[in-house]
Amino acid sequence: MKNSETKTAARDHHIERAWCKGCGICVHFCPKQVLELDEEGKVCAARPEDCIGCRLCELRCPDLAIEVIDRQAAEGQGNGDE
């Protein structure tokens, strides 16, 4: 990657903040350190451009508070391209 190029996130992280209890399990299991706890102790995607889409955060969250959405797949749904 050239210095002038910037990485863009290929995935969105939908986080239900009301469901998140701030246990940090998703943060711990993320192999790319995409997630972290914010000043309120809730999870946030601090570096979404580094996400590899493994969904370990989604699978390990005991409160089902996080969902990883692949942008390319989401854009292809519902527009008749199937």
Q: What is the third-level CATH fold of 11-71?
A: Alpha-Beta Plaits (3.30.70)
Reported as a single tens digit per residue, the pLDDT across 33-78 is 999 999 999 999 999 999 999 999 999 999 999 999 998 776 666 5
Between 80 and 36, whose confidence is greater?
Answer: 36
The 3-class secondary structure across the chain, one letter per residue, is CCCCCCCCCCEEEEECCCCCCCCCHHHHHCCCCCEEECCCCCEEECCHHHCCCCCHHHHHCCCCCEEEEEHHHHHHCCCCCC
Between 28 and 4, whose confidence is greater?
Answer: 28
Please report the pLDDT score of residue 38 as a whole number: 96
